[in-house]
Structure 1
Amino acid sequence: MEMARKKRDPKKVALAQAILEAYQPQTAQEMNNALKDLFGPLMESMLQGELNHHLGYESHDKGPKKDANRRNGYGKKKLKTTQGEVEIEVPRDRNGSFEPQLVQKRQRDISAIEQKVLSMYARGMSQRDISATIEDIYGFSMSHEMISEITDSVLTELEEWRNRPLKKCYAFVFVDCLYVTLRREYEAKECAVYVVLGYDIQGKKEILGLWTSESESKNYWMQIFDEIRSRGVEDLFFISMDGVSGLEAGAKAIFPQVVVQRCLVHMIRNSIKYVPAKEYKRFTQSLRKVYGAINLKAANTAFEQFCKEWASYPGAIGVWERNYHHVEQLYDYSSAVRKIMYTTNAIEAVNSSFRKVTKKGAFPNESALYKLLYLRITELEKKWATGHIPNWSMVLNQLMMMDQFKERIERYLHL
């Protein structure tokens, strides 16, 4: 069945026809130029309407006036619009009391370009690239100073975000670190950026915060967890981490009930350093039988076999022997819970997104770094806003069946 054609407003059709007759555009660019040409007269007519309302009479009204204020010619102004740069004439009054709302005094940009600049900056574009893109698309130039001023506008918002109150409970927390280059005292130095990602009790993702330090250390992680608590967090169920020395002790000093899980993916990466490249595939297949076993008994049997099979690589075996309790504790929990806690892939995906925008070079200071990462986080959170963690209801139900979590979930789920 053929769909009926949507009827157009006759007034709009007539207007479009008039524009076509007046300009006779042959290309999309010529049509765009026609619209740009019409923008000025349209804007001027609307401003004239504002002045009529302000004065209380039309321009050709011969009747009595409410006061002595009158029209006083026009002032020229160049506006930056999404159609490019357009010059308009702004009507004035004698008293100087006319305050147009459509285009306010001293306003030169009505293109909503600020959000476009912030969006490009959040995607890792340099100031030079942003300036060139704005000029290519909109036909007006934008200085590096102006771009910097626009991006600096988020600094107050950033500071509020870094100190905002957090939720009382996060079921899963993932911690990781990435390194960026900062210029300090005329010298470029590597700086550790600590990132903490949380899954709240409702199954929503949230970056709890960003911190920087000269290097990754157990003492600094403890300070981070202490700050998280001071911002309102009362309980964490699980922390997944990449094996930082002292992190487990630091976390449990602040949140005694938390279960700290070593990321098995990191353990695999650490262990294959001791294995010839040609053996990687077979080695990882043997490991998968261990951490992918159906229960702890099967995992222990597979681990014994693994140790015998790869005994000629004691360095690789040692990584797993020293950390095997992290494999064993996985089997204290159901499969849906294990699937979330056994790896830090969730936060590595976040850090991978950060690296895409930080790889462009050294940052002049911490503010520039935080500004870029914060804008990137706002982009990520737009994607997260409409979704939940896959199978979250199953995860929550499986945790509810365990005494150590049942009461805690009930306490925070209904807040």
Structure 2
Amino acid sequence: MTDLADEPVVDLDAVTDGPAEGAGPAGLDPVDEQLIAQLAGRARANGLELTGENGLLAQLTKRVLESALEGEITDHLGYESHDPAGRDGGNSRNGHRSKTVLTEAGPVELDVPRDRDGSFTPKIVAKRQRRMSGVDELVLSLSAKGLTTGEVQAHLAEVYGAQVSRQTISTITDKVIEAMVEWQNRPLDPVYPVIFIDAIHVKIRDGKVANRPVYVALAVTCEGRREILGLWVGDPSSGGEGAKYWLHVLAEIRNRGVGDVLMVVCDGLAGLPDAIGAVWPATITQTCVVHLLRNSFRYAGRQHYDAIAKALRPVYTAPTEAAATERFLEFCEAWGERYPAIVRLWENAWAEFVPFLGFDVEIRKIICTTNAIESVNARIRRAVKAHGHFPNEAAALKCVYMAIMSLDPTGTGQHRWSIRWKPFADSDSTSSSTPDMRRCRLATIFGVNEPSRSRGTSSSTGPASVSTVFDR
């Protein structure tokens, strides 16, 4: 393997002082570019690997870090190495100590300078520091994508030739817990146009491995941006998702500053509309149409799935609530005697089903289902699936938190959201001085009259008149 020890050391001051005249787009002058080209060419010619232990990048990283450390001790002592000005000055250099640091280019052995007084404290590679910050970021990124500690360990060994224990990887990922607690308790906006709520189940070993719900709330801000409000792990004694715990979650969201919400979109869990009404009495509750359809199929024979789906389609695609009522009566006449349970299901959910029909078509498409939060849930499930089960609640929350923090790294997703919710972004709702003014302005954009925002204020009799169909 080629030894780069005889290569001339690059003058870091000349490189970092700024781009020279005629410098290229990367801020390098022609001499720098020629030097890099020579190094890369000699490495290829001599079969020197680019990455890994003793690779070109590792050796360059060693040179750069050691040069920076020499600069730090020079600033600390006040004179250059072998400078006569340092004689009889009290403190002086006292050789070097060897230290191996894990970098993004692989393990690098550094010669760290020392002073006689022991007062030198390096900054670029601090005392007892064994990893550069880029390695921690890499581990967090891999963990957020669903890799287990064993898989992260294998990746670092294969790509960088670094041996990192599983305990070290777990320690690195534990750094996000403090940020997670701060994020979970941050203040929220006073008004949100829409909040989507749902729960996913993860396996947690609490005495025995059992499914525990993780409650997720996703809001659309007044600027049309997506914001995840928080994560909550359900009570182990509850046995599954429940409206009682949702009441606790929504109350916590309110206590963090959310004074009003125009609409909450949910999956139709029993008791959830009452929990929403208890926290925000004027908020509209919208049941997900997809969940309602899926629940309908539970009461039907498989051979009738297509026919029932076709018969129900005119109900949820109707232009108005009155038209939806008429289409539903037609469905009852066709299928009510065979499947009365489906009729009762829709009757009971009607007050929470019809609100979206009062909105513009563009808004109606994105508030009639929980698809907005289901995409987030899919990303969470992918990360959770790799782990199988978690030793405790904190480990599960850490995994889910890292998964949602890694969503949309390029920002294109937020851009699409802003386009979909453009009416809010174009409005002056955010400039309103009080929550009530913002609520009124948003309600106007939303296409809803303020007095009709109470839950269950359906304008027509709706399915309440369905019983007359069977009386005939």
**TM-score of the pair, normalised by structure 2:** 0.77
**Mapping 1:95-244, distance limit 5 Å:** 95-110=117-132, 112-185=134-207, 187-211=208-232, 212-214=234-236, 215-244=240-269
Asked if structure 1 preserves the Cα contact closer than 8 Å seen for 2:219 and 2:228, the reply is yes
Say what the alpha-carbon RMSD is for the aligned residues: 2.7
Asked if structure 1 preserves the Cα contact closer than 8 Å seen for 2:247 and 2:275, the reply is: yes
Distance 2:184 2:38 in 1: 55
Of 336, 344, 360 in structure 1, the residue corresponding to residue 370 of structure 2 is 344
Match of 2:450 among 398, 404, 410: 404
Equivalent residue number for residue 362 of structure 1: 389
CA distance in 1, matches of 2:326, 2:414: 43
Greater mean alpha carbon deviation, residues 28-37 or residues 374-383: 28-37
| Structure 2: gaps spanning 5 or more residues | 1-23, 425-441, 454-472
Using the alignment, how far apart are the partners of 2:41 and 2:251 within structure 1? 71
State the shift of 1:23 in Å: 4.5
Q: 2:360 aligns with which of 308, 314, 334?
A: 334
Spell out the pairing of 1:199-348 with structure 2 (5 A cutoff).
Answer: 199-211=220-232, 212-214=234-236, 215-311=240-336, 312-348=338-374
After superposition, give the CA deviation of every residue in 1:345-382 in whole Å (9 maximum; x if it has no partner): 11222222211111232211111011111111211265
Residue 421 of structure 2: aligned partner: 392
Q: Which moved more, 1:11-20 or 1:96-105?
A: 11-20
**After the TM superposition, which of the residue ranges 284-293 and 128-137 deviates more from structure 2?**
284-293
CA distance in 1, matches of 2:284, 2:41: 74
Which residue matches 1:410?
none
Which of residues 84, 102, 112 in structure 2 aligns to 1:90? 112
Identity across aligned pairs (percent)?
36
Which structure 1 residue ranges, 5 or more long, are not aligned? 1-5, 408-415
Distance 1:307-1:362 versus aligned 2 partners, 3 A rule: same
3-state DSSP class of the match of 2:95?
strand
1:60-93 Cα offsets, whole Å, 9 max, x none, are 3335647122221111111212221122212222
Cα gap change, 1:76/1:225 in structure 2, threshold over 3 Å: closer, same or farther? same
Corresponding residue for residue 10 of structure 1: 30
Q: CA deviation at 1:330?
A: 3.1
Mapped contact 2:51–2:106 kept (Cα < 8 A)? no
- Counterpart check, 1:34 vs 2:80: no
Question: Using a 3 Å threshold, how does the CA distance of structure 1 residues 42 and 226 change in structure 2: closer, same or farther?
Answer: closer
Q: Taking structure 1 as the reference length, what is the TM-score of the superposition?
A: 0.87
Helix, strand or coil: the match of 1:29?
A: coil
CA distance in 2, matches of 1:15, 1:390: 47
- Summarize the Cα distance change of 1:91–1:189 in structure 2 as closer, same or farther, 3 Å threshold: same
Q: Contact 1:337 / 1:398 at 8 angstroms: preserved in 2?
A: no
**Distance in 2 (alpha carbons) for counterparts of 1:334 and 1:18:** 64
Q: Greater CA deviation, 17-26 or 86-95?
A: 17-26
Query: Equivalent residue of 2:119, what SS?
Result: coil
Displacement of 1:322 in angstroms is 3.1
1:325, 1:291 → 2: CA distance? 13
* SS of aligned partner of 2:373: helix
Query: Is this contact kept in 2: 1:182–1:364, CA < 8 A?
Result: yes
Is this contact kept in 2: 1:399–1:405, CA < 8 A? no
